[in-house]
Amino acid sequence: MSSIRSYSPQDPTDLVVEAPAFTSADVARSISRGAEAHHAWSRASPHERAGALEKAASALQDATSELSRLIVREVGKPVAEATAEVARGVAILKYFAAQAFEPDGEVLPGNDGRTLLMVRRRSHGLVGLITPWNFPMAIPLWKAAPALAFGNSVILKPAEQASAVALRLADMLQQWLPQHVFQVATGGPEAGTALVDGADCVSFTGSAAVGRQVARSAVDRGIPVQCEMGGQNASIVMPDAAPEPTAASIAAAAMGYAGQKCTATSRVIVVGDRPDFAEAFVAAVRALSVGDPSDPAVEVGPLITETARDRAATAVATASNQGARVLFGGGRMTDRQGHFMTPAVVSINDQSHPIAQEEVFGPVCALLTADDLPQAIDAANAVKYGLAASVYTSDLAVALDAVDGLDVGMVKVNQPTTGVDFYAPFGGNKASSYGPREQGKAAQVFYTSTRTISMSGVRP
């Protein structure tokens, strides 16, 4: 079997792991084993399923330091965020352990007054999970934990750049689960395609282009599918928003973890003439610490690959060539060993500008202006994505108008676009998402299907 290699983005000479590159045949064998394991797991009691998830949560908690260091090393996430991600993974496992005891159906009135009419939920079977590198623990767990809690078996196909974290996570889950209930298929596109072609249900998080292919393939097969894809998230700054704290909040959301979050703020739409805010925002971005992600003081680490860094830097240079004003940053940090760039703030006059329309997935934020709230909402909505947005204001009526007008799946008021509550539904509109929402109570809807059962007693 050939192999894949995952290198540290802050030290490209550091080989974090060499893992098997699963072929279609390898994935097919894993699917067969997982399907067989599902038969017993789906019939396990909720106590057994919840107990396994609780024990896995305790194991993760005990290994917080080790796991956070691995996340920092493999994907370049600043250590404070990496530690928080492990804690979030623990909480997700505990939450869905409790969800295993939730009602799995309902009883309806029978049509003759004697019939017992029930709706029951049951697991799909073998669930395929395709996950990105930027949240190498939280995203696999917020998919796997509910899938397991509701009786499915799971195969995780992680991004190649997050293979080490995925394999370590598997080690910890497999200690408490029956054999083959949770498996990992490392590799590239061939492994992902084979999983979509063979699983009973698929959950995907990644790029919009790949997500559309996954959705089409799953729909052609007639299996449940959800795809969480890109975002081009806007923060609207109203005239009454205090410049310094607002700028600091948005700067962290735009540039933290080098902007490598689907919920990162990509655009700031300033309502009215606010040169004070533009100055405060540039100052807040300038103040962010860029460097070694293992340093607790660092907020902006490297981009995941040299290609990703070059793509983000090129987007800034192209915008400048097309008439945009680069207010700060945008250059490659060639004095460092890893894939670093200076966070960039780019001022543009036209919402149709490519840097406002296309997801850069890097530490780049466009700054625009609007005359009033309706114009700002129109600008925020004038992209193909619809994941998250925020509005900063002290006026409740303005906040409610923004909440009503923004065409996104998640709206924040006086909060950054980043940050997701794992017990609340998560997903976007338009090109950001396809299929049901993730997380919270919505997860049971996706990872199970309903059967309607009509039962009559035998008449004497």
Residues noted as catalytic: 228, 262
Contact, 405 vs 374, CB < 8 A? yes
Contact, 114 vs 411, CB < 8 A? no
Which amino acid, one-letter code, is at 180?
A: H
Contact, 297 vs 337, CB < 8 A? no
Q: What does the radius of gyration of the chain's CA atoms come to, in whole angstroms?
A: 23
186 Cβ contact partners less than 8 Å away, ≥ 6 residues apart: 4, 19, 20, 21, 22, 157, 158, 160, 163, 166, 167
DSSP letters, 358-419, are S---SSEEEEEEESSHHHHHHHHHSSSEESEEEEE-S-HHHHHHHHHH--SSEEEESS-S--
Strand partners, 208: none
**Which region, left, alpha or beta, applies to residue 430 given φ > 0 means left and ψ of -120 to 50 means alpha?**
left
User: What whole-number distance in Å separates Cα of residue 227 and Cα of residue 238?
Assistant: 33
80: buried, middle or exposed (CB in 10 Å: 19+, 13-18, 0-12)?
Answer: middle
Q: Where are the beta strands (DSSP E) in 195-320?
A: 201-205, 225-228, 233-237, 265-271
User: What whole-number distance in Å separates Cα of residue 71 and Cα of residue 248?
Assistant: 26
Contact, 144 vs 135, CB < 8 A? no
Q: Pick from 142, 55, 60: which is nearest to 96 by CA?
A: 142
User: What whole-number distance in Å separates Cα of residue 262 and Cα of residue 260?
Assistant: 7
* Crossing angle (nearest 10°) for helices 46-62 and 79-99: 160
Q: Where are the beta strands (DSSP E) in 21-125?
A: 105-108, 116-123
Q: What are phi and psi of 434, to 5 degrees?
A: -140, 130
Host H or E run for residue 7: strand 3-8
